[in-house]
Amino acid sequence: MTDTTPDGVETRDPDALRRRAGVRGDPGRDQHFLVDNRILDRLPGYLPPEADTAHLLEVGGGTGGLTDRLLRTGDRVTVIERDPALAGFLGEEFSGAVEAGRLDVVDGDAVEVDLPEFSACVSNLPYGISSPITFRLLPRSRPLVLTFQREFAERMAADPGSGDYGRLSVTAGHYADVEVVEVIPPSAFDPQPEVESAVVRVTPRDPDYEVDDEAFFFDFVKALFTQRRKTVRNGIRNTAHISGLSDPDAVVDAVAAEDEGLLRARPGSLAPSEFAALTGIAAEHGR
């Protein structure tokens, strides 16, 4: 069975793909296949208008419902699938695209394999790799359209001062503008997960502040958020083993000399630019 898009192009039916693959999703292996045709059709359209679709990356191809749409969107597609049986099925189902050089199927774990050069990424991600694959993709500075567990998506897009704001929000906001563009009900998947999902659009841009040492910046942010209920003053002093500071008291004194208010604040209220300012002081006075 196929459906027809508004421009008259037939698309593969996700239920038929699953039947041809001879598999059922396995929640224990983090397999929830997206089977809602309307959502599958919409996902590539969430890319920013200026996105380059010359080489699209898909993480977690499953039985190919989204792969089919991406081949109709981009010039070339690379799909990474960690289940060897599904990787083999994708190669057979889309053999024409493989032979034409338009599709590469990588049999492996996207957290571990070398990622190709790609122009944009559209993926229905397995929940279990949300964090590690996101931290791999963000530094590539490419447009991303990714589905996550809704809670993760909202934390990624959260603003300072909100309950969802944290290390993930600061890290994502360092690299890009992040927005939740659609909430997906459990009924859109087979088998159905126990939680809602959400689609996040990531549009890369440079931060409006400077960071000399990104690794230290991220370590410092991580350290302070382990003490998110404490003031920044106490967080700096209590987390030197995480941030790598050798003289946290010197950092506290230096921050106090510039902006005492920062020390009284809590991490959840600080904008990324304020974390950057703190990191700069910490690097100069406490390492």
Flag whether 212 is marked binding. no
Flag whether 34 is marked binding. yes
Cβ atoms of 124 and 190 closer than 8 Å: no
Alpha-carbon span 31 to 85, nearest angstrom: 13
Alpha-carbon span 80 to 61, nearest angstrom: 6
Closest CA to 79 of 64, 92, 93: 64
Cis bond before residue 132 (omega within 30° of 0):
no
Alpha-carbon span 173 to 159, nearest angstrom: 9
Flag whether 7 is marked binding. no
HEC secondary structure over 154-223:
HHHCCCCCCCCCCHHHHHHHHHEEEEEEEEECHHHEECCCCCCEEEEEEEECCCCCCCCCHHHHHHHHHH
Tell the burial category of 152 from Cβ atoms under 10 Å away from its Cβ (0-12, 13-18, 19+).
buried
Feature table: binding site for S-adenosyl-L-methionine: 32, 34, 60, 81, 109, 124
Feature table: binding site: 32, 34, 60, 81, 109, 124
